[in-house]
Structure 1
């Protein structure tokens, strides 16, 4: 008996068919014998895109041509999906691509400019979009934080600052915040928080957490102390959106510890696909953020959370913010 092959679940960024309107081939020819049920992404002449689902992508494309001028649509990407999976896979694909450029989708997006959010009062939406694609935010003015009058140096923070490896810990925190958090000087304490965590003694054999960076209640980056054959060392862990790798996959493998779907202790609802990344050294983190796709993956994650709202963690340390952001 011939066995029916099961459908391989691929990344939301993968498309089996890539068709260009100027290729001289029809969409039907590009699809060949493939099923027409799946997820598609339309490309427009102005650089925008639209993600959708269709039980028959050819008929859906014809309807789009009637809605938009034919010359506006310059191409279409498509992958086959099961009918019962269409809604979930469409949602995952919108989350995947919304930080890579402008999507015409109005529903499902996390990074919607149309959505009113408190962050817009600090950083204009157009600057947020430019930043997530690799730019810098110049419109937000830095403000001084008077930490000495409001907060003293806690015992946990003192233990952190007194560690011999504090320079490495600080370098990890600073690189992540300066790279992956928008306008950190003006958003600290309201849209993101940092907390010192070390206890006087280790309470388990696996390691202990030293510091965390929170964005809307989710710890998007942590620094740990772990035991190894050569003694104690620190490493960092971060959560980033799943990037479109464009050939970076081999180098990515040594950074990624796991691939997960959104289900992060309830707090991560709406994250879409994301990656859990370990950095063994500050250098590995620097190399990560030197890559445009990976920098964007980190920024998509934190910006999506910051647009959900502003919340201050109880253990937030303004003095640690000052240490992390000082030149």
Structure 2
């Protein structure tokens, strides 16, 4: 069954660096006929890597739930969201708009994804939490969907019969109604503060319970949303500043040693699990002990890792040193497998 959205469900244009973000802001000012020095107020939040969902509430009661589809017409998944955490059938409180569309993401926490996959046969396993969330929501049998620990977080407003002035005003209502939104949301009026936020969120990425693939910046004022409108299927008033597909940052939890076929001992960093290019990564090679010393890598540090192709990810550099740093890891005196003496060639 298909459902027509009351307001178009747009997809965001992407930015990949500071210049892209600067160009975006410049285009906004040009369209709005603002002077270059004029500051625009933005709201920023992590971009959850999930499946977009549109919830229609009538007088506080959930009427339908649908996927984005082509932006105008989506797939009816109303029977499959009954047990989703964060979607109340009845909004809290008593003053609700006659009709309102609330947009957000369906997702799985990383731990829930690992647990789900561990109970599936190899051929039915999902490659990442996003695919698991999408596959679970679109199940033909709603009883299977009910067993999956899906969650919802709101981030957008579609059609509404109530006039909101700012995004924060709408988000305040969401909290009153019992619908979660990001607790990492912030407001900005300069590109430098926006980039600082982007880097802060990138550092937090591996420690968050769910996958994110960037940061969304959108204009705070709904009046400006209306003035700006959209181009193609993208709103002019928002952009997604994406993380690199091959690089990200995470924390080194431990460093241990692997013994290869030739007897060579390689140090391996055990990481806070993080998604790179659709693959969950929890280990990275540190190459050798000279490399560890050269890059000054220690347990507890936040590091940048890179994954190229199917090779094991590698640690590129330390981004943030641990507060109480341990001594640098030294080569073991005895083989971790056979306990024999170790010598350096």
TM bucket normalised to smaller: under 0.3
Say which structure is richer in strand.
2
Structure showing the higher helix proportion among its residues: 1
Please report the TM-score for the alignment, with normalisation by the length of structure 2: 0.25
TM-score by length of 1: 0.26
